[in-house]
Structure 1
């Protein structure tokens, strides 16, 4: 499904293609960004884990929706969690089968 770009995006693309855009990052900033990207992308250890069939299936479906390999999705979620960018949120209680609230009285 092709993505439509708006007028502003079209102008930016044209300026980029014509070489009219200049980087404002210094050489030291660029080096820092490159080092951070390398460190983030470096995968130098292997881990084996056991997952339930249901969880693995759900992860594979989510990865397919995102258009990435499921192992990449797992690594990304773990990375976000350990760096504090992914946190648990309280579980929401589902209503009971009879349509009543499951909140305690």
Structure 2
């Protein structure tokens, strides 16, 4: 399990399971697992990436942004669209200043 997911699971357990859900039988554990998985899937995609995955996506974004300055005008729209797609999938926050 990735560290980021472990941390989110701990937060979910402390906030939801201890304070609300009861997992005292098989059905209870199943309900806890399902509600935890739903909570994880509701997180923004960038919060579900490992640090290495985030760096790869940031590197791609950085590369495309720099390529845009040297692109032939006919390629500008394609590169701009790709940058926009990456930002809309992963969230512009991922590419902001840290």
Shorter chain as denominator, the TM-score bin is under 0.3
In terms of Rg, which structure is larger? Answer: 1
Name the structure where helix makes up a greater proportion of residues: 2
The TM-score, its normalising length taken from structure 2, stands at 0.26
The TM-score, its normalising length taken from structure 1, stands at 0.25
Q: Which has the higher contact order (CA 8 A, sep 6+)?
A: 2
